[in-house]
């Protein structure tokens, strides 16, 4: 038998300003109910140390943009499996611009046909995660985007 | 209890297997280790190296299996099964407006499909009209837009509704769509006793998985029970409910969870209907089920067989059903959409064929086979035809339909059938202790179990504990194959515009007095707690729109908002 020792913490670490965890909005845009992917990704991001806000289903572009601003998130992750991604993402980008929040990077996942990937990127989407993307890749790319946003804000 | 196997012989086999594990297997393992430390089904059930009569032990043939068409129906609900009639080939179809869908249905009928199944778009699924703000950008994409009786009339233009049965995958607005269907059939001159088909009308799984709910759980169940009660008394050939595991599975449940939660839903509905004063043998023969057929071949076959045995037992022993038909679990099956990959999409044809075969070996009454292009969009006619042909090849070339329940007696399949059943009973016990499925759903129990299972599965895929060809094993970076898939193309914006115009036209042309009275009567009936079906039917005939009828009901019943669980 042995006792585990309490974790030793250095004085420097205790004095250093505590970094806010990266915050992500996971949003179900549109009216489809397929929330499996959104929930799995939300959980993976949470397990990777992100603070996650999940909107639940049936959100309008306006609601998602407002939530992103109110929650002051670093990244918006949109999940759509209704095929209406072109329409809704375009609207979301417009709403973010209206709120002067178009500095928040947007990533999209779902059943997206390959020919739609480039047009989505032209709208300003940073990454399109196609079916079969690993959670690891989603977490890594989301972290990169969050880091970059914090750097631009001068927080890091 | 008479045992299938001689007791002494079973003991001898058991000790021989032990000796084999001790003396023979290690020599083989020394030469080549096994591929994995532990083999499990997709549901995580451990799979042994080999199965023998020793795994079945004290096996009572009559209690567990019986004969086809006889209790407990493990081997099939009909004595002759596919030797008499091949399962119904029922392709889930619909996109765009009613014109596009009418054309697609006729295409499939020409190629040998034997039943129809309508896929609705999202606005229809959640009961809003095409000109509702929520419908923006969604009209006609994942299915057909049907906001009025006129749209239903166009879908069935030139299709004899007295000769074909139609499934409608519709839930909260099921009373409305059934009314559109019945009113259209009436216009075609088809009498009520010849109108056949199915409304999904399964509210509990909406909260558990499919998430196209509208009303809160209690009124949602009430409305569904209204439809069932009305249907069993007016439409003798209609299946008023399709108690669905499919969406539960697709949302990430294991096979055991799919089986347990769906049967628990069924138990809840039976209780609700009995509480209304219906006799169990009056409605039970009209209850139908809907399962997923996933890629883990034997697990699916075992699941279907266990499902039949469990339901028969529940109906007979719990609810005292007397009619044989009341004990039948009749079901439709769809191959697993979630097993399809966007990578190398043509491989999906193979996956679908294997899953369809499992459904047939499991004794399904009707079957939808997915198209290979469905990871991207609703299927093209070309892809849908291949999916239909897959069923036809299984039915007419392979010979698997020539004898009933050919997997029976496989030590593995029978052991797995028992194992899945036992695991499902354990879940059902827990749900019973919570006060039944309506209570369990309100507590979020099945929702949380599924969320856990789907996350576990995804992690296993990420960690290469589960393989998906083209995704995490044998992966090719060549995406030309994907680019070359000929996807269904249609002008969605044009369809949305057309559907908005049509619904406006219908509103302007109908008899305003009749329409107003119908909606008013519906609202009052709902407030009084009466069965709403006759009132919805009258409103539909008065050309009230889907959004108007659902709007009136929402005023009375309210709207559900889900607490986000992940």
Is A36 in Cβ contact with B375 (below 8 Å)? no
Query: In this structure, are strands B287-293 and B331-335 parallel, antiparallel, or unpaired?
Result: parallel
Confidence tier at B476 by pLDDT (50, 70, 90): confident
Pair B364, B333: CB distance under 8 Å: yes
Model pLDDT for residues A73-102, shown as the tens digit of each residue: 999 999 999 999 999 999 999 999 999 999
Pair B308, B274: CB distance under 8 Å: no
Last residue of some domain: B452, B467, B488? Answer: B452
Last residue of some domain: B410, B426, B452? Answer: B452
Chain A contacts to B (CB-CB under 8 A): 26, 30-36, 38-40, 42-44, 46, 52, 54-58, 60, 82-84, 86-88, 91, 111-115, 130-132, 134-136
Mean pLDDT of chain B: 97
Looking at residue A18, its pLDDT comes to 63
What number is the average pLDDT over the span B127-135? 97
Looking at residue A21, its pLDDT comes to 95
State the Cα–Cα distance between residues A86 and B29, nearest whole angstrom. 54
B368 and B426 in a common domain:
yes
Is A42 in Cβ contact with B122 (below 8 Å)? no
Is A83 in Cβ contact with B141 (below 8 Å)? yes
What number is the average pLDDT over the span B373-386? 96
Residues of chain A found within 8 Å of residue B212, distances taken between Cβ atoms: 33
Specify if B528 maps to a domain. Answer: no
Find tokens 């992103």 and name the residue. A68
Q: What are phi and psi of B40, to 5 degrees?
A: -135, 155
Confidence tier at B516 by pLDDT (50, 70, 90): very high
Q: What is the CATH number of the domain that holds B99?
A: 3.20.20.240
The A51-54 sheet, strands edge to edge: A51-54, A23-28, A75-80, A106-110, A127-129
Specify if B148 maps to a domain. Answer: yes
CB atoms within 10 A of CB B412: 17
Looking at residue B307, its pLDDT comes to 98
B132 and B18 in a common domain:
no
Residues of chain A found within 8 Å of residue B472, distances taken between Cβ atoms: 134
Looking at residue B484, its pLDDT comes to 86
Looking at residue A4, its pLDDT comes to 40
Model pLDDT for residues A112-131, shown as the tens digit of each residue: 999 999 999 999 999 999 99
What number is the average pLDDT over the span B457-483? 91
Find tokens 């709208």 and name the residue. A123
B91 and B55 in a common domain:
no
% of chain B residues with pLDDT over 70: 99
Confidence tier at B5 by pLDDT (50, 70, 90): confident
B127 and B19 in a common domain:
no
B167 and B22 in a common domain:
no
B33 and B122 in a common domain:
no
Task: Provide the residue ranges of all domains of chain A, joining segments of one domain with +.
Answer: 20-153
Confidence tier at A5 by pLDDT (50, 70, 90): very low
CA angle A99, A86, A68 (to 5 degrees): 30
Confidence tier at A154 by pLDDT (50, 70, 90): confident
Residues of chain B found within 8 Å of residue A84, distances taken between Cβ atoms: 122, 137-138, 141
Confidence tier at B477 by pLDDT (50, 70, 90): confident
B192 and B111 in a common domain:
yes
Specify if B477 maps to a domain. Answer: no
Last residue of some domain: B425, B452, B479? Answer: B452
State the Cα–Cα distance between residues B466 and B298, nearest whole angstrom. 17
- Which of B252, B455, B566 comes nearest A54 by C-beta? B566
Looking at residue A2, its pLDDT comes to 39
Specify if B285 maps to a domain. Answer: yes
Specify if B56 maps to a domain. Answer: yes
B252 and B352 in a common domain:
yes
Architecture of domain A20-153: 3-Layer(aba) Sandwich (3.40)
Specify if B509 maps to a domain. Answer: no
A:B CB pairs within 8 Å:
102
Confidence tier at A13 by pLDDT (50, 70, 90): low
Specify if B46 maps to a domain. Answer: yes
State the Cα–Cα distance between residues B29 and B33, nearest whole angstrom. 5
Looking at residue B164, its pLDDT comes to 97
Model pLDDT for residues B431-444, shown as the tens digit of each residue: 999 999 999 999 99
Query: Can you give the residue range of the structural domain that contains B35?
Result: 7-62
B111 and B236 in a common domain:
yes
- Which of A34, A54, A131 comes nearest B375 by C-beta? A131
**pLDDT surpasses 90 at B479:** no
Is A84 in Cβ contact with B138 (below 8 Å)? yes
């Amino acid at each position: 038998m042995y006792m585990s020792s309490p974790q030793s913490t250095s004085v420097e670490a205790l004095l250093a300003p505590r970094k806010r965890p990266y915050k992500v909005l996971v949003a179900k845009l549109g009216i489809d109910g397929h929330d499996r992917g959104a929930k799995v990704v939300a959980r993976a991001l949470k397990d990777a140390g992100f603070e996650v806000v999940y909107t639940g289903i049936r959100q309008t572009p306006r609601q998602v943009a407002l939530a992103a601003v109110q929650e002051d998130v670093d990244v918006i992750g949109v999940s759509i499996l209704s095929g209406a991604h072109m329409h809704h993402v375009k609207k979301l980008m417009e709403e973010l611009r209206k709120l002067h929040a178009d500095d928040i990077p947007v990533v999209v996942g779902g059943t997206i046909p390959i020919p739609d990937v480039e047009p989505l990127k032209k709208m300003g989407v940073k990454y399109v995660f196609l079916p079969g993307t690993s959670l690891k890749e989603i977490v890594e790319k989301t972290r990169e985007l969050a880091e970059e946003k914090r750097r631009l804000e001068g927080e890091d | 209890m008479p045992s299938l196997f001689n007791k002494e012989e079973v003991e001898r086999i058991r000790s021989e297997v032990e000796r084999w594990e001790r003396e023979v297997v290690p020599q083989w393992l020394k030469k080549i280790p096994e591929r994995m430390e532990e083999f499990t089904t997709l549901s995580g059930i451990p799979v042994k190296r080999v199965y023998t009569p020793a795994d079945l032990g004290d096996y009572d043939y009559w209690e567990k299996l019986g004969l086809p068409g006889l209790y407990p129906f493990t081997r099939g609900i009909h004595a002759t099964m596919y030797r008499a009639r091949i399962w119904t080939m029922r392709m889930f179809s619909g996109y765009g407006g009613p014109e596009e869908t009418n054309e697609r249905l006729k295409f499939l009928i020409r190629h040998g499909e034997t039943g129809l199944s309508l896929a609705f778009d999202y606005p229809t699924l959640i009961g809003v009209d095409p000109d509702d703000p929520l419908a923006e950008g969604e009209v006609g994409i994942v299915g057909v837009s049907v906001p009025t009786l006129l749209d239903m009339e166009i879908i069935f233009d030139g299709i004899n509704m007295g000769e074909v049965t139609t499934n409608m995958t519709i839930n909260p607005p099921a009373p409305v769509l059934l009314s559109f269907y019945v009113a259209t059939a009436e216009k075609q001159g088809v009498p009520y006793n010849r109108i056949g088909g199915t409304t999904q009308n399964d509210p509990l799984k909406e909260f558990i998985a499919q998430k196209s709910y509208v009303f809160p759980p209690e009124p949602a169940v009430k409305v569904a029970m209204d439809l069932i009660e009305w249907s069993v008394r007016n439409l003798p050939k209609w299946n008023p409910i399709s108690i669905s595991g499919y969406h539960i599975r697709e949302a990430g449940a294991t096979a055991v969870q799919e089986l347990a939660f769906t049967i628990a839903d069924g138990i809840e509905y039976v209780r609700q209907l009995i509480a209304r004063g219906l006799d169990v043998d009056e409605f039970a023969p009209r209850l139908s089920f809907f399962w997923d057929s996933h890629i883990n071949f034997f697990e699916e076959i075992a699941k279907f067989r266990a499902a039949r045995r469990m339901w028969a037992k529940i109906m007979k022993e719990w609810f005292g059903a007397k009619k044989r038909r009341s004990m039948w679990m009749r079901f439709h099956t769809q191959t697993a959409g979630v097993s399809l990959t966007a990578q190398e999409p043509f491989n999906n044809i193979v996956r679908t064929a294997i899953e369809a075969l499992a459904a047939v070996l499991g004794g399904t009454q009707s079957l939808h086979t997915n198209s290979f292009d469905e990871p991207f969009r609703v299927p093209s006619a070309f892809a849908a035809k291949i999916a239909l042909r897959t069923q036809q090849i299984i039915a007419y070339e392979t010979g698997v339909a020539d004898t009933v329940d050919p997997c029976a007696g496989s030590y593995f399949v029978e052991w797995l059938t028992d194992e899945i059943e036992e695991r499902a009973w354990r879940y059902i016990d827990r749900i019973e202790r919570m006060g039944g499925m309506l209570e369990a759903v309100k507590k979020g129990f099945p929702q949380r179990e599924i969320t856990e299972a789907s996350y576990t599965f995804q992690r296993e895929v990420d960690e290469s504990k589960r393989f998906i060809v083209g995704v995490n094993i044998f992966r090719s970076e060549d995406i030309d194959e994907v680019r070359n898939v000929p996807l269904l193309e249609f002008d969605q914006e044009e369809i949305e515009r057309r559907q908005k115009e049509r619904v406006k036209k219908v509103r302007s042309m109908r008899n305003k007095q009749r329409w107003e009275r119908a909606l008013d009567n519906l609202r009052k009936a709902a407030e009084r707690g009466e069965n709403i079906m006759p009132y919805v039917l009258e409103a539909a005939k008065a050309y009230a729109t889907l959004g108007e009828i659902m709007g009136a009901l929402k005023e009375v019943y309210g709207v559900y908002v889900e607490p986000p669980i992940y």
